[in-house]
Amino acid sequence: MTANIVIRPPDLPDFAKPPLNEVVLGVQFDTPAGYQQIRAGEVWKLFSAEFPQAQELPPLPPNFETFGPQVSIVGFGGVGFSPIMSFGPVMGPLHGRFWFVSNTGDQLIQFQNDRLLHNWRKIVGQDNSYPRYEIISSRFLNEMQSLESFMASIQSQPLRITQCEVSYVNHIKPLPGEKLQSSAWLNFLNFSEEPDDFAISFRKTILSDNGQPRGRLTCDSSTAIEPTGQHFISLTLTARGAPEHPSVQSALEFLNRGREIICKTFAEITTDAAHQAWERTT
């Protein structure tokens, strides 16, 4: 595959010790003509050298960001929005979802007949540092290109990508010896007394260059508890929407822009004290 290099924007906020727990890059596409689930093993072979472990899971439902009358639906990275719709019998065979997992377990590819995702995740008890977006997105681009080449070998066809998503999942924990105080980390919270728990979300529209809605940024924040009993804040920022064109390159452009929006929003909604704890550099 052609080498692809993603350059980090110089004005992007950066942290030496970000509270990241997981990063997900993903695309949804029309099921390619001629693809049958029996070929999932051939898809695994594309990636098995680096992802030798395989697991089968239930499929993810279709997920689209649309504008107009809406109801919420659960998607592969959070809550999306869709026109009101009815559901009838599913025609044709159901396709499963497969995880292709690295030996270290911190990176995996998710594949089903209409989805491809790449996850990086923090492993408890291991010092697996976040390899940075530039590395993960370059790998994901190569993975999209490999899948597109495979589907073209079945029938001459490109991937027709309908939705893209990038998600950053943060686990914000108090400093050693301190209790969790939400307002010390998130500047849009100002509780007079720390609640037992909370769950707050907001959304912003992502506009195209000509001012048309292209997708949404969703922020979900809530309290959570580790198995050890320690309380922390789960903060998930997701940019999801349609690429300008249904191509792999256009999908990468949406992901890059979504990542920029997420990073800037993260810096905007977190406190200066938090930035010091996470060693902000720019």
Q: If you count them, how many residues does the chain have?
A: 282
In a domain, 2, yes or no: no
Tell me whether residue 123 is in a domain.
Answer: yes
Predicted local confidence at residue 7, as pLDDT:
84
In sequence order, the 6+-apart residues with CB closer than 8 A to the CB of 54 are: 44, 48, 98, 99, 100, 101
The confidence score (pLDDT) of residue 259 equals 98
Residue 73 lies in a domain: yes
The single residue listed with the structure tokens 């595959």 is 1
Tokens of 186: 């998130």
Distance CA 271, CA 269 (A): 7
pLDDT of residue 125: 78
Number of structural domains, the chain? 1
pLDDT digits (tens, 9 = 90+) for 16-32: 999 999 999 999 999 99
Residue 282 lies in a domain: no
Is the residue at 12 inside a domain? no
* Structure confidence at residue 91 as a pLDDT band (50, 70, 90): low
Three-state DSSP at 144 gives: helix
Is 144 domain-assigned? yes
Residue 86 pLDDT exceeds 60: no
Per-residue pLDDT at 73: 41
Distance, CA of 73 to CA of 144 (rounded, Å): 26
What pLDDT digit, counting tens, does each position of 182-230 carry?
Answer: 999 999 999 989 999 999 999 999 999 899 999 999 999 999 999 888 9
* Tokens standing for residue 131: 């390899």
pLDDT category at 33 given cuts 50, 70, 90 is very high
pTM over the 0.85 mark: yes
pLDDT at position 71 = 46
Question: What amino acid occupies position 164?
Answer: C
Q: Determine the structural domain holding residue 36 and report its residue range.
A: 20-84+94-277
- Return the closest-CA partner of residue 153 out of 55, 45, 3, 54: 45
Check residue 34 and give left, alpha or beta (phi > 0: left; psi -120 to 50: alpha).
left
Residue 1 placed within a domain? no
Residue 72 has pLDDT above 60, yes or no: no
> Which residue in the block uniquely carries the two structure tokens 């065979």?
93
When the pLDDT of each residue in the chain is averaged and rounded to a whole number, the result is 90
Q: What is the 3-state secondary structure (H, E, C) of 98-130?
A: EEEECCCCCEEEEEECCEEEEEEECCCCCCCCC
Mean pLDDT in residue range 47-57: 97
Q: Where are the beta strands (DSSP E) in the chain?
A: 20-29, 53-57, 71-74, 79-82, 97-101, 107-112, 115-121, 161-172, 199-207, 213-225, 231-241
Q: Is residue 77 within 8 Å of 241, Cβ to Cβ?
A: no
Within a domain: residue 9? no
